[in-house]
């Protein structure tokens, strides 16, 4: 397999788009969420998260509160805060994280076990419900936090604690006789163990990850045995999901469709891809490709969101992508970004980066208010406010982002992704240096054993021009591979001001040469407005188009276009009829689009509900389009992505 290799960490991002958002995350999101974890946000649902750790450590008395997976919220927060230290050292924040880690580690048991739900509720009950009680999920997130904090600071307190916990997990679970043959109901520990293994190189860590991947769904089914043994409820027994809700209805090597809970699916597939790459298991890589294809070709929204149904927060069936009853959880789109990056590491194909970019610029960042203080769980493509209140099937679709959630998986998840965004942009494999995403900034990496500095200037995603300067100590031969996005129909390349013609291989423009210090690459990606149709099998989108420009999907919002967005049509408007306007003061700075359109009126209809003779009259209007991610930052109102012709 010829993958894009390892992703380069510790790049510096400096550009207008991401720097602002990352600063928002650093200045607002991280401190805000620390308050939330400590129940200090007035009017928000309490988290109880840190309190649980203090109770578990015997510092306070009380009962465990919140979900069984409440521990994972601080884990994700530590991870996100740790990333921010990489690009913005902050002693004060580091001290807060050290304090949090002290609280976490204080609850660890002598045998290494660490899960406040069972420490408080009774250790005798641990490992009795791997299916639903999230012990391994919490462990996985805390391992990721430990790795991130260790990599950011070199501090090992949490890392060592987690290694001890993994030792204990390994003594309890595994293929060997005498161990429980279980695996997590909610995956994440698979990819966490692979990150740990990357540091420790301890074969036990790889072996345990591989065990979790391969044991899942084997007969006899562990979850079924566990349910019988411990009289656990099986919530999905009358559902078509059955154990595929957990992606555990069959061994992973037999799975062909993205099924069940969409976040669990993405986390599992990400871990499977990690194991496939590390072990060179071609069959397992094929399984990942198959599940990837099903996910992004038949079950993904144009915004990169996934999960069509609130029921089970899950995938449904091929081409079932309702825009108004969507689940489209922020965490699921984030999971798709994780999965995409791992597929890139397996195979250097632009398609993976295309999806990663689509999810990132749309269904992921739509999850966060521009001020970093409110969050969406559900990311709809069509919203009618009254329906969210009065149509029970849309009750989880919100018109405004929420301050915090009792089940607060999404807010810290988006923060840890944005804070570590630099890890998704560049990768190196042998003498190939890949640029997968375009963001301004700089980094230094070893390419084929030689240090290479790359500096990028761009106003992406608002403009398609990307200027890259290469720095080398001495002339160095290597291949720079610049992604030509799938949405891009035309581009131009220059080297030191001269036009350059190079082949595009698997979606990457390949510039293989002996690089001189100061070489300048100018990539100009055409970024016209695109009017996309959906595959005719996607029945909810027939007769409609989605407007995008570059990686950004656009939408109509009531604040710009008044009410009854369903009566707006594009009519004969072509992509070339759209005007782009840079609006520095609107929604944090956006390129707004204006297009001709039509509004269908009910003039003359009065109170007649149905008529064979009344005409539908249209009047010409100007439609105003904003980037999808920026919706719901003004007065609550209607929004829609797919618009009729």
Rounded to whole angstroms, the Cα distance separating 323 from 272 reads: 30
Nearer to a copy of itself, 86 or 544 (CB): 544
Nearer to a copy of itself, 204 or 533 (CB): 533
**Does 611 help bind a copy of itself (rule: CB under 8 A)?**
yes
Report the chain's C-alpha Rg in angstroms.
Answer: 25
Among the residue ranges 124-132, 170-178, 532-540, 582-590, the one whose residues contact a copy of itself (CB under 8 A): 532-540
**Does 534 help bind a copy of itself (rule: CB under 8 A)?**
yes
**Does 531 help bind a copy of itself (rule: CB under 8 A)?**
yes
**Does 620 help bind a copy of itself (rule: CB under 8 A)?**
no
**Does 93 help bind a copy of itself (rule: CB under 8 A)?**
no
Tell me the closest approach of the beta carbon of residue 568 to a copy of itself, in angstroms: 10
**Does 332 help bind a copy of itself (rule: CB under 8 A)?**
no
DSSP 197-260: HHHH--HHHHHHHHHHHHHTTPSSPHHHHHHHHHT---TTTTSS-GGGGGT-SS-GGG--S--S
Tell me, residue by residue from 113 to 132, as one string, x for binding to a copy of itself by CB under 8 A and - for no binding.
Answer: --------------------
Residue (of 142, 158, 129) closest to 68 by Cα position: 129
DSSP 450-483: EEEEEEEEE-TTT--EEEEEEEESS-EEEEEEEE
CA neighbours closer than 13 Å in the CB half-sphere of residue 228: 5
Phi-psi domain of 487 (left: phi exceeds 0; alpha: psi -120 through 50; beta: other) = alpha
Catalytic residue, from 94, 226, 313, 522: name it: 313
**Does 331 help bind a copy of itself (rule: CB under 8 A)?**
no
| 154-191 exposure pattern, b = at least 16 Cβ within 10 A, e = fewer | ebebbbebbbbbbebbbeebbeeeeeebbbbbbbbbbb
Residue from 405, 605, 621, 636 in contact with a copy of itself (CB under 8 A): 605
Q: Do 371 and 346 touch, CB atoms closer than 8 A?
A: no
- The residues, ordered by sequence, that sit 6+ positions from 534 with a Cβ below 8 Å of its Cβ are 302, 321, 541, 542, 544, 546, 642
Whether 331 sits among the annotated catalytic residues: the reply is: no
Tell me the closest approach of the beta carbon of residue 96 to a copy of itself, in angstroms: 37
Tell me the closest approach of the beta carbon of residue 127 to a copy of itself, in angstroms: 31
φ/ψ of residue 358, rounded to 5: -60, -45
Q: Do 330 and 414 touch, CB atoms closer than 8 A?
A: yes
φ/ψ of residue 305, rounded to 5: -75, 155
**Does 564 help bind a copy of itself (rule: CB under 8 A)?**
yes
Nearer to a copy of itself, 311 or 582 (CB): 311
**8-state DSSP, 46:** P
Nearer to a copy of itself, 308 or 369 (CB): 308
**Does 390 help bind a copy of itself (rule: CB under 8 A)?**
yes
Among the residue ranges 201-209, 260-268, 365-373, 601-609, the one whose residues contact a copy of itself (CB under 8 A): 601-609
3-class DSSP state of 64 = coil
Catalytic residue, from 288, 409, 410, 555: name it: 409
Tell me the closest approach of the beta carbon of residue 450 to a copy of itself, in angstroms: 40
**Does 608 help bind a copy of itself (rule: CB under 8 A)?**
yes
Residue from 6, 253, 533, 634 in contact with a copy of itself (CB under 8 A): 533
Rounded to whole angstroms, the Cα distance separating 213 from 205 reads: 13
3-class DSSP state of 72 = helix
Rounded to whole angstroms, the Cα distance separating 298 from 537 reads: 9
Residue from 237, 539, 574, 619 in contact with a copy of itself (CB under 8 A): 539
Number of residues that bind a copy of itself (CB under 8 A): 60
Tell me the closest approach of the beta carbon of residue 516 to a copy of itself, in angstroms: 38
**Does 322 help bind a copy of itself (rule: CB under 8 A)?**
yes
**Does 354 help bind a copy of itself (rule: CB under 8 A)?**
no
**Does 312 help bind a copy of itself (rule: CB under 8 A)?**
yes
**Does 582 help bind a copy of itself (rule: CB under 8 A)?**
no
Residue from 175, 233, 282, 389 in contact with a copy of itself (CB under 8 A): 389
Rounded to whole angstroms, the Cα distance separating 152 from 424 reads: 17
Nearer to a copy of itself, 218 or 601 (CB): 601
Tell me the closest approach of the beta carbon of residue 272 to a copy of itself, in angstroms: 21
**Does 585 help bind a copy of itself (rule: CB under 8 A)?**
no
Q: Do 531 and 623 touch, CB atoms closer than 8 A?
A: no
Residue from 405, 600, 634, 636 in contact with a copy of itself (CB under 8 A): 600
Tell me the closest approach of the beta carbon of residue 611 to a copy of itself, in angstroms: 6
**Does 384 help bind a copy of itself (rule: CB under 8 A)?**
yes
For β-strands 6-7 and 426-429, DSSP reports them as antiparallel
Q: Do 592 and 583 touch, CB atoms closer than 8 A?
A: yes
**Does 297 help bind a copy of itself (rule: CB under 8 A)?**
yes
Rounded to whole angstroms, the Cα distance separating 355 from 341 reads: 10
Residue from 602, 619, 622, 635 in contact with a copy of itself (CB under 8 A): 602
DSSP 503-514: -EETTEEEEEEE
Whether 313 sits among the annotated catalytic residues: the reply is: yes
**Does 4 help bind a copy of itself (rule: CB under 8 A)?**
no
Rounded to whole angstroms, the Cα distance separating 94 from 90 reads: 6
Rounded to whole angstroms, the Cα distance separating 360 from 102 reads: 33
Q: Which residues, numbered 466-495, are part of the site for a copy of itself (CB under 8 A)?
A: 487, 489
Rounded to whole angstroms, the Cα distance separating 443 from 421 reads: 13
**Does 198 help bind a copy of itself (rule: CB under 8 A)?**
no
Q: Cα torsion for 298, 638, 559, 414, to the nearest 10°? A: -50
**Does 546 help bind a copy of itself (rule: CB under 8 A)?**
yes
Residue from 180, 455, 510, 532 in contact with a copy of itself (CB under 8 A): 532
Nearer to a copy of itself, 430 or 536 (CB): 536
Active site positions, annotated:
313, 409
Please report, as ranges, the residues that interact with a copy of itself according to CB under 8 A. Answer: 240, 293, 296-298, 300, 302, 308-312, 316-317, 320, 322, 325, 384, 386-387, 389-393, 487, 489, 530-539, 542-543, 546, 548, 564, 566-567, 569, 575, 600-602, 605, 607-614, 616, 644
């Amino acid at each position: 397999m010829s993958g894009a290799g390892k992703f380069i960490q510790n790049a510096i991002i400096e550009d207008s788009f991401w720097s602002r958002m990352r600063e928002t995350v650093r200045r607002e999101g991280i401190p805000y969420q620390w308050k939330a974890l400590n129940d200090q946000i007035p009017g928000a649902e309490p988290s109880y998260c840190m309190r649980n750790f203090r109770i578990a450590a015997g510092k306070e008395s009380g009962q465990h509160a919140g979900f069984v997976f409440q521990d994972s919220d601080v884990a994700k927060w530590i991870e996100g805060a740790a990333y921010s230290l990489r690009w913005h050292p902050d002693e004060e924040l580091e001290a807060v994280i050290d304090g949090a880690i002290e609280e976490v580690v204080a609850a660890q048991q002598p045998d290494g076990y660490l899960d406040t739900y069972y420490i408080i509720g009774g250790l005798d009950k641990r490992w009795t419900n791997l299916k639903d009680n999230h012990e391994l999920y919490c462990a996985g997130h805390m391992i990721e936090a430990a790795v991130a904090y260790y990599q950011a600071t070199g501090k090992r307190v949490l890392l060592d604690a987690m290694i001890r916990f993994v030792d204990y997990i390994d003594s309890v679970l595994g293929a060997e006789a005498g161990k429980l043959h279980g695996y997590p109901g909610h995956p994440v520990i698979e990819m966490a163990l692979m990150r740990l293994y990357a540091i420790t190189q301890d074969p036990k860590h790889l072996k345990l990850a591989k065990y979790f991947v391969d044991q899942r769904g084997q007969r006899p089914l562990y979850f079924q045995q566990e349910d019988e043994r411990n009289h656990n409820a099986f919530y999905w027994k009358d559902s078509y999901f059955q154990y595929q809700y957990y992606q555990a209805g069959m061994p992973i090597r037999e799975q062909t469709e993205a099924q069940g809970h969409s976040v669990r699916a993405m986390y599992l597939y990400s871990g499977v891809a990690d194991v496939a790459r590390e072990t060179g298991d071609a069959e397992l890589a094929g399984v990942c490709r198959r599940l990837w294809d099903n996910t992004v070709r038949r079950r993904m929204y144009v915004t990169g969101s996934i999960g069509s149904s609130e029921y089970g927060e899950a995938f449904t069936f091929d081409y079932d992508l309702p825009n108004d009853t969507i689940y489209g959880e922020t965490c699921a789109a984030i999971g798709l970004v994780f999965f995409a990056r791992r597929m890139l590491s397996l195979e250097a194909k632009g398609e993976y980066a295309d999806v990663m970019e689509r999810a990132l610029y749309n269904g992921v960042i739509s999850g966060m208010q521009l001020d970093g203080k409110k969050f969406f769980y559900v990311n709809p493509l069509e919203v009618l406010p009254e329906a969210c209140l009065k149509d029970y099937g849309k009750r989880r679709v919100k018109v405004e982002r929420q301050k915090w959630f009792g089940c607060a998986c999404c807010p810290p998840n988006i923060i840890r992704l944005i804070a570590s965004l630099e890890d998704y942009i560049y990768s190196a494999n042998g003498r190939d240096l890949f640029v997968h995403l375009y963001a301004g900034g700089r980094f230094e990496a070893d390419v084929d054993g030689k240090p290479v500095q790359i500096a990028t200037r761009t106003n992406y995603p608002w403009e398609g021009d990307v200027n890259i300067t290469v720095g080398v100590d001495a002339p160095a031969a290597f291949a720079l591979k610049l992604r030509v996005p799938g949405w891009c129909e035309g581009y131009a390349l220059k080297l030191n001001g001269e036009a350059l013609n190079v082949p595009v291989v698997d979606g990457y423009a390949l510039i293989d040469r002996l690089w001189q210090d100061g070489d300048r690459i100018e990539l100009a990606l055409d970024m016209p407005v695109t009017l996309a149709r959906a595959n005719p099998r996607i029945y909810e989108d027939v007769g409609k188009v989605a407007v995008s420009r570059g990686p950004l999907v656009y939408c109509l919002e009531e604040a710009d276009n008044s009410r009854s967005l369903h009566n707006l049509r594009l009519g004969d408007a072509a992509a070339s009829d759209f005007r782009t306007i840079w609006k520095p003061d609107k929604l944090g700075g956006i390129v707004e689009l204006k297009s001709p359109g039509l509004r269908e009126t009910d003039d003359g209809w009065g109170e007649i509900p149905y008529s064979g003779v009344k005409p539908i009259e249209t009047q010409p209007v100007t439609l105003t389009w904003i980037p999808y991610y920026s919706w719901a930052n003004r007065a609550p109102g209607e929004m829609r992505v797919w618009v009729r012709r």
